[in-house]
Every structure is written in structure tokens, then in C-alpha cells.
Amino acid sequence: MNITKQQIEAEIAELTAEANRKVASVKEIFMESARLRQQAEHLNQFLELRAQAERHSELMSFIMLGFARDVQNEPTACCAFIWTGSTSNPKEVRMLLKCDWQRILPIDVAPYFSDLLNDWKQTIQTQPEVVLAMIAELSVGPVRTMERDTMHRDRVALLMEKRLGECLHFPGVTLVK
């Protein structure tokens, strides 16, 4: 049995084509492998971010509000909002009110502040981020933003006790997501 030159060339062409298909297949495998490694790296980064968030779970943010009798006077602390999470996605929002807040405010301002409190209590149930945005930069009028910060929850508790003394907590206002 004689093998012709054409048969050999056909076999060479077939083997070359098969080799090229395998090379293309290997390239696809390498590309898919690279994509999978990249996805794995993204998931590792995600896990690290999640671990960092869990380490920061002890952090709380707050906005302290106060009453100012006039433009020259420093405000006197009367109310605070505290929460975990971000301002745009707050969790466990609590509103604290100094027990003797009515004593600090003049008679003509007390009803105004009472109305504000009622609005905030209602809105915080469904849109806490809106309330936090509204109170974050109060700089005119009798009720003003005094301070805002994020710190360890124990420090926030001590600060609230120092600035507000005995507080009225609004358990019905607490929002937990």
C-alpha cells in the first residue's frame, strides 16, 4: 500500500487544523481561567470589605441639634439623632430629646420645635435619610446643627449623656433595617 503525496498533504492539513482548533480551545480556556480568577479576586475584595464593615459595626453617627436664642449665642443642646450605617442608608435610627427641652426654649419657640419634632418622628419611620439630610446643616433659625460626627458607640453614649443629660428616647421612632 502506497501512500500518495496528496494523502500525506491532506493528513498534514487535517492535523494542522486539529492543532489549530486545540490551540484556540486552549486560548479560550486561558481566557475563561483569567475571567474566573478575576471574579475570584473581586469576591475576595468583597469579603475584605465585608470584614472591614463588620469591624466598624461599633461605629455610630450622630447629629446634635441645639437652640440658639439669637445669632450671637452658641446653641444649647436639646436634641440628637443617632444611627448606624451611612447617612444615605441609615440603620437603627434613634431620636433623643433632652427631658427639659421646653425649659430651654422660649414660650414662642416651643410650639414650633414641638411641630418639628412631630414631623421628624413621622418622617423618620419611612424616610430617615431625608430627615438626616434636612437637619445636617441647620444654620439659621432657632434650631441649629451643633455637631455631627461618627465614633465608637460608647463614646456617642457618653457624649449624649454629657450634652443632653437625661433623655427622652422615642422607641416608636427607632428604625431598624
DSSP state of 105: S
**3-state class of 71 per DSSP?**
coil
Distance CA 160, CA 154 (A): 10
Report pLDDT digits (tens) over 118-144: 988 888 888 899 889 888 888 877 888
Round to whole Å and give the CA distance between 158 and 145.
Answer: 19
pLDDT digits (tens, 9 = 90+) for 21-39: 888 888 888 788 888 888 8
- Read off the pTM: 0.62
Cα 177–Cα 124–Cα 113 angle in degrees, nearest 5: 155
Q: Residue 153 — pLDDT band, cuts 50, 70, 90?
A: confident
Q: Domain map of the chain by residue range?
A: 1-55, 59-169
What band does 174 get if pLDDT is binned at 50, 70 and 90?
A: very low
Closest CA to 96 of 124, 74, 69: 124
Q: What is the DSSP letter of 109?
A: T
CA gap 145, 77 in Å, rounded = 9
Give pLDDT, residue 170: 52
Name the packing angle between helices 110-126 and 128-135 (round to 10°): 140
117 closest CA partner among 139, 102, 137: 102
DSSP 47: H
